[in-house]
């Protein structure tokens, strides 16, 4: 029996996430991103399509590597302005019952105690539907915003390890099971003997505190992570329950998926769910889909694509010719984005212009355009070739891309028994990993 394919919607609290320029499209409503109604409607749509989660990306600085300034990013609304992702969640949780929310939070610039409480709060308010995409940031602009410089690539993961030790202890060890009594007659809310402080003295953090929030349905949010470098993979192998991978072809993705699963298995963790990025353009006929795609490509901004790529790789693509072939550079920005277009597939060379055009339509993942049957075929093939469990679906237009997926692609996948027909019970973790599932810890 083939496995069901999982779906996340890949979005961001901004005008242009990974489809720069398309906010100008007549069918795009991204300009409403400051409206709660916009997000509530999207959450309801995704729940109607039985999406596992809405995954909300985030950055804490502007994309200012391209041309050495944020001007191009601001002109095109490319991930700037960008609002806080977490603030959206309670309103969306109120109008849905099952949809998960994977919020991205950069751990580099705030104390773990304060962060841990914010996530516990969201886990309470969503009744256990919160996930956390653990990121350390690749933008020097974010570091400068708090008076620092971007830390070295591998050092960021070391800091993240220490941060994880503290937040996991706060979530899982500070309040023992049964500490919350809520005993009205006896006048005892919590049993003080069952709540203990977490004490930590490390390189980056010194903590002596009880967790301020009482245990939430999941205690620890479902942990998502997206690093594919050697250091990132090692981090994911020990911490992540769900991993995002992104790359332009199955040939690029498959070895990464195998490597991450192998690394996790070495820590006794084999239940990992892996999601890969994809953009889908659907039509009831192939011609209709192709016409839609042509309309998107007319408005998608290659310059916006290069603004994003410059931020991800730390390389200023504005300083290069569009017909120039991209050569590998290693620096302290993200490693995978550069690998995707240089080393990951030695038979595929990318010019700067090609990178800009490709990234402008949904990011560095593949696009699949066609009838629901054709796109379902492509997805099944991709899953078979790469070993992923599901997709992180980028959009071309908001919310039209998701409406097409819900109305056209989901029924097709259900007909093939490749997509759920209803949500499972319980928390996000239980929905993804089965009833009673607990966070899998490294052995």
* Site of interaction with ligand FMN (CB under 6 A): 57-59, 104, 106, 135, 137-138, 153, 226-229, 232, 244, 246, 277, 334-336, 392
Distance CA 240, CA 138 (A): 19
Closest to ligand FMN by CB, 57 or 300: 57
Q: Write the CA distances from 150 to 59, 79, 139, 176, 206, integer angstroms.
A: 13, 19, 7, 37, 21
Which residue has 């499209």 as its token pair?
25
Q: Minimal distance in Å, beta carbon 346 to ligand FMN? A: 19
CA angle 365, 370, 372 (to 5 degrees): 100
User: Which residues, 6+ apart, have CB-to-CB distance to 371 below 8 Å?
Assistant: 282, 283, 284, 285, 286, 289
| Residue 55: CB atoms within 10 Å | 26
Strands 180-183 and 188-190: antiparallel
Instruction: Please give the backbone phi and psi of residue 423, each rounded to the nearest 5 degrees, phi first.
Output: -80, 150
What residue number has its CB nearest to ligand FMN?
232
Q: Minimal distance in Å, beta carbon 234 to ligand FMN? A: 9
Q: Minimal distance in Å, beta carbon 389 to ligand FMN? A: 14
Distance CA 121, CA 205 (A): 22
Q: Minimal distance in Å, beta carbon 175 to ligand FMN? A: 30
Closest to ligand FMN by CB, 137 or 248: 137
Q: Minimal distance in Å, beta carbon 113 to ligand FMN? A: 22
Q: Minimal distance in Å, beta carbon 246 to ligand FMN? A: 4
Tokens standing for residue 378: 């492509």
Q: Minimal distance in Å, beta carbon 42 to ligand FMN? A: 17
Q: Minimal distance in Å, beta carbon 129 to ligand FMN? A: 19
User: Which residues, 6+ apart, have CB-to-CB distance to 121 below 8 Å?
Assistant: 213, 216
Distance CA 361, CA 77 (A): 15
Q: Minimal distance in Å, beta carbon 102 to ligand FMN? A: 10
Name which of 59, 170, 175 is nearest 116 in CA terms: 170
Q: Minimal distance in Å, beta carbon 114 to ligand FMN? A: 19
Closest to ligand FMN by CB, 56 or 375: 56
Closest to ligand FMN by CB, 256 or 439: 256
Phi-psi region of 319 (alpha: psi -120 to 50; beta: other; left: phi over 0): alpha
Contacts of residues 12-15 at CB distance under 8 Å and 24 or more positions apart, as own/partner, are: 12/56, 12/57, 12/58, 12/79, 12/82, 12/85, 13/56, 13/58, 13/82, 13/83, 13/84, 13/85, 13/87, 13/88, 14/77, 14/79, 14/80, 14/81, 14/82, 14/83, 15/77, 15/81
Closest to ligand FMN by CB, 96 or 104: 104
Please spell the DSSP secondary structure of 22-59, one letter per residue. GGGSTTB-GGGGG-HHHHHHHHHHHHHTT-SEEEEE--
Distance CA 205, CA 227 (A): 23
For residue 81, cis peptide bond before it (omega within 30 degrees of 0): yes
Closest to ligand FMN by CB, 76 or 363: 363
Closest to ligand FMN by CB, 78 or 198: 78
Closest to ligand FMN by CB, 57 or 88: 57
Looking at residue 368, the DSSP 8-state letter turns out to be: E
Closest to ligand FMN by CB, 139 or 406: 139
Closest to ligand FMN by CB, 336 or 371: 336
Closest to ligand FMN by CB, 56 or 93: 56
Tokens standing for residue 171: 């979530």
Q: Write the CA distances from 31 to 27, 35, 89, 235, integer angstroms.
A: 11, 9, 19, 36
């Amino acid at each position: 029996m083939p496995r069901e394919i999982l779906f996340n919607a890949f979005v961001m609290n901004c005008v242009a996430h990974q489809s720069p320029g398309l906010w100008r499209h007549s069918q795009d409503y991204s300009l409403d991103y400051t409206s709660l109604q916009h997000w509530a409607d999207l959450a309801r749509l995704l729940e109607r399509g039985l999406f596992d989660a809405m995954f909300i990306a985030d950055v804490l600085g502007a994309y200012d590597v391209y041309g050495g300034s944020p001007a191009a990013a601001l002109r095109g609304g490319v991930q700037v302005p960008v609002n806080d992702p977490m603030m959206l969640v309670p309103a969306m949780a109120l109008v849905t019952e099952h949809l998960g929310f994977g919020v991205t939070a950069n751990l580099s610039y705030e104390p773990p105690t304060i962060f841990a409480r914010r996530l516990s709060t969201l886990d309470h308010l969503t009744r256990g539907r919160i996930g956390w995409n653990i990121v350390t940031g690749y933008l020097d602009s974010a570091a400068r915003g708090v008076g620092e410089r971007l830390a070295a690539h591998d050092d960021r993961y070391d800091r993240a390890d220490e941060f994880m030790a503290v937040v996991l202890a706060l979530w899982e060890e500070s309040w023992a099971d049964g500490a919350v009594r809520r005993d009205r007659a006896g006048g005892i809310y919590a049993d003080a003997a069952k709540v203990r402080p977490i004490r930590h003295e490390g390189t980056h953090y010194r903590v002596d505190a009880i967790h301020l929030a009482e245990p939430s349905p999941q205690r620890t949010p479902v942990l998502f992570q997206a690093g594919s470098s050697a250091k990132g993979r090692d981090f994911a192998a020990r911490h992540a329950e769900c991993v995002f991978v992104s790359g332009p072809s199955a040939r690029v993705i498959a070895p990464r998926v195998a490597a991450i699963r192998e690394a996790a298995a070495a820590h006794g963790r084999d239940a990992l769910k892996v999601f890969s990025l994809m953009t889908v353009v659907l039509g009831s006929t192939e011609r209709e889909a192709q016409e839609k795609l042509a309309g998107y490509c007319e408005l998608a901004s290659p310059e916006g694509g290069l603004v994003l790529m410059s931020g991800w790789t730390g390389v200023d693509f504005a300083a290069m010719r569009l017909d120039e072939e991209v050569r590998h550079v290693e620096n302290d920005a993200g490693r995978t984005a550069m690998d995707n277009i240089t080393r990951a597939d030695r038979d595929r060379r990318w010019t700067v212009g090609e990178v800009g055009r490709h990234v402008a339509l949904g990011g560095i993942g593949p696009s699949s355009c066609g009838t629901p049957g054709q796109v379902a075929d492509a997805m099944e093939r991709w899953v078979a070739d790469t070993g992923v469990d599901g997709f992180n679906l980028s959009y071309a237009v908001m919310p039209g891309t998701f409406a097409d997926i819900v109305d056209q692609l989901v029924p097709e996948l259900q007909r093939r028994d490749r997509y759920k027909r209803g949500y499972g019970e319980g928390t996000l973790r239980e929905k993804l990993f089965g009833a009673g599932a607990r966070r899998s810890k490294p052995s």
